[in-house]
Chains A and B, each alone.
Chain A
Amino acid sequence: MMNRFFISTPAHQISLSLQDPGDSLSPVMLLAIDMQDRQQVDNITRICFSGDVTARFVICLRNLDHDIPGVLNEVLVLLSHRKYFRVFNQPVVFLECNGSFDSHSSMLKEFLDKQGFEQPRISGVSNEVFNSDNFIAAHLAGTGQKVVNELVEFEEYYTDYLGSQFDSDDYFVIQPGAVPVDHFLRRMKSLVDLFRSEHPYEADLIKRLVHSSDTALIQTLKNKALESEIKVMDELARLRSGNKELEDILEFYHREYEVLPLWYKRVGHILKVIMGKRSFKSLFSDKKQR
């Protein structure tokens, strides 16, 4: 129930936030990257690949601009990080909405497609989330987005959500602002615990739903990997059956050696004895040399 929170992380706290806060609380860290600032891209890359990053993370691209050629190439290694958050093995990427979401989204989709990601999840996030010092929660369901500005208001909303609107495809983007991240996570934990005690059947249903969905995902990925392996093996077997390498070697042997006169081959065997490659006795044996 707690796994679908993306916590927007201030740049100066990234290295701290990338540590998984605990067993039951594992929000995904949302790292906003200013694509106009190459130094920031480099710094975030360095932080994500240095030390022991234990929390999952996603990136949110801010100030993406068509005028900067190849800027997206710089984030490819981040998208390939072991801890990068994926849904059905496809990376989830957030784009800050600043009025040009559609064109930037197409640009990002084209980039991801060229890098072999077939169905990446691209979501727009209001720039209000990143530009506020206050608590803001955005509920992203499909293309809809509901923004809640107060922690208490959000808690009420989330309790209602768990009881009547839960959907395993939904997620929330949180900008804690003045509310410390650990305080927010503790509040959410006690809220979920309360929901579990007051609505045990609903809570159990959600738990089973999330578990089944996770298991199905793992099985799908394993199946996909096996299918891909079978495809490769089939292709190699097909090529192998049409391969004339052995015939070529035999032809080479006949062309280069078998056609030589017998006396020449015999001299060759004597040379082998002189060079110590075979025994003198073997010259008079009918046994095949191996």
Chain B
Amino acid sequence: MKNHNILLLASLPDKFSADPSLTESEDEKILFTTNLGKDIGGKLLLIDLVLKLYADIPYLILLHDKRSYQKYSGGFEKEKLFRIIEPTNFDRILDKFDSDTTTGIVCHNGSVRSEYDSSTKSFDTTNAALLQSLQAQYDIKPKDYSFVAGTMFWVRTSIFADFFGKYSPAAIRSTLEKGNVLDASGGTVTHTWERLLSWIASARGYKIQGI
């Protein structure tokens, strides 16, 4: 992102690999990889590259081509999620980080969700069991179980550097399911990490802020 101290990490499906507009430059790096964990697998690999080469850049934006054709609301959701890359919103977003050092993630207001039921102390999702086991495995214990549904948000690079310095993104990637998995009928490691990526910040005392 020229003129801004930000890195945009975009995970795209393989149909984009033949797109001639995808050319490498000093500001743009492209990785070609397998479809493992859909956008999450791509994002983990990009995070790996960021930590190897650009760990000093303060903010990352996680993005992917959102294609929720299976839902009537898919189009609205996509529009909402993409507002975080409208340059007119950049100042507001950066202000959220600057004015409050505990802001770890900034996303669109409507994409923050929580599936935690405090009365039963359980998660209302097919991924509930996986959430509990992976939380224990990776020592992710947030006080607030809100997460950014759709995994498109700004995040402080230092938060990911701290976590992924201990747990290799590539190793985590290898645990994700192959292909375009969905979690409608059963939990998946991929959709569990959709939630955990937000909780990495919450577990370190950072807040998720909406715009």
Contact = CB atoms under 8 A, between A and B. Distances in A.
Interface residues of A, number: 39
B24 interface: yes
B31 A225 contact: no
Contacts of B13: 228-229, 232
A115 B14 contact: no
Q: How large is the interface on B (under 10, 10 to 19, 20 to 34, 35 or more residues)?
A: 35 or more
A82 B32 contact: yes
A214 to B, nearest CB: 15
A183 B146 CA distance: 62
Q: Identify whether the interface residues of A are mostly helix, strand, loop, or mixed.
A: helix
Contact of B52 (A46, A225, A249): A46
Contacts, number: 97
A233 B67 CA distance: 10
A70 B184 CA distance: 32
B66 to A, nearest CB: 12
A77 B31 CA distance: 7
Interface of A: 42, 45-46, 49-52, 70, 73-74, 76-77, 79-82, 84, 111, 114-117, 222, 225-226, 228-229, 231-233, 235-237, 239-240, 243, 245-246, 249
Interface in B29-70: 29-36, 41, 45, 48-49, 52-53, 67-70
Contacts of B14: 225, 228
16 contacts: A42-B52, A70-B168, A70-B171, A77-B170, A81-B32, A82-B24, A82-B31, A82-B32, A225-B15, A226-B15, A228-B15, A229-B13, A232-B67, A239-B182, A240-B69, A243-B71
Contacts of B114: none
Contact of A225 (B17, B175, B178, B180): B17
B180 A243 contact: no
Given A235-B182, A243-B70, A76 B45 contact: yes
A82 B31 CA distance: 6
Nearest to A226: B15
A80 B173 CA distance: 13
A258 to B, nearest CB: 20
Nearest to B37: A116
B120 interface: no
A240 B68 CA distance: 9
B174 interface: yes
B1 interface: no
Which among A45, A111, A231, A236 has the highest number of chain B CB atoms within 10 Å? A236
B53 A82 contact: no
* 8 closest cross-chain pairs (CB), A and B: A116-B34, A239-B70, A73-B170, A114-B174, A116-B36, A80-B31, A76-B170, A236-B69
Contacts of B52: 42, 45-46, 49, 77
Contacts of B36: 115-116
A43 to B, nearest CB: 11
A49 B49 contact: yes
